[in-house]
Each structure stands twice: as C-alpha cells, then as structure tokens.
Amino acid sequence: MKLVEPPSCSSLSTIVFIGRNRRGQWVAQEQHGLYGGLFVSRAQAIKYALFENGRHPETIVELPREIELDMARSPTPDISHRAA
C-alpha cells in the first residue's frame, strides 16, 4: 500500500500559480505560499498542483512571466510585531 500525503488545500478558491523560473525550471506555488515545488516539466507541475488543490484545474493559473519559488513567505500575517 502506497501512503500519500493529503492535499494541503481545503478551499476551492485557492489559486496555484505555475510558470518557469529564470533557470527554466517549472514552479508551482500556492498563492499564499502554503505549498509549492520545482519541477522538470510543465506536466509534473500541473500534476502536483492538481493533487494539492483537490483536483480543481480551474484554480491553476499559468503565468507568462518568470516566477520564483518562495518558501520563506509566511502563509499568515505575523501579528507578534504589530503596534498596540
């Protein structure tokens, strides 16, 4: 039996951007930085995006410009540094 991680996405409105980075690798990244990855082909980037977003192709957006994978981005605002 093959174990598979459950999709990271729980909302149908989650957008996944795909495109190439400056090195020509394919990038898939959820709009808020919840998940993402680098891929050798467009097909693999789309397959990953579909798995993560619960099989909703309508929420995948292919960008005509370069996209860089940003895994340092915080998916939620950091409220610990807000002024009172």
What pLDDT, on a 0 to 100 scale, did the predictor assign at position 26?
98
E-strand stretches of the chain: 16-20, 26-30, 36-39, 60-62
Task: Write the single-letter amino acid at 56.
Answer: H
pLDDT band, very low/low/confident/very high, at 20 (cuts 50, 70, 90): very high
On whether the CB atoms of residues 59 and 51 are closer than 8 A, the answer is no
On whether the CB atoms of residues 42 and 75 are closer than 8 A, the answer is no
> How far is residue 74 CA from its own chain's centroid?
13
Kindly report the pTM of this predicted structure.
0.71
- The DSSP output letter for 15 is -
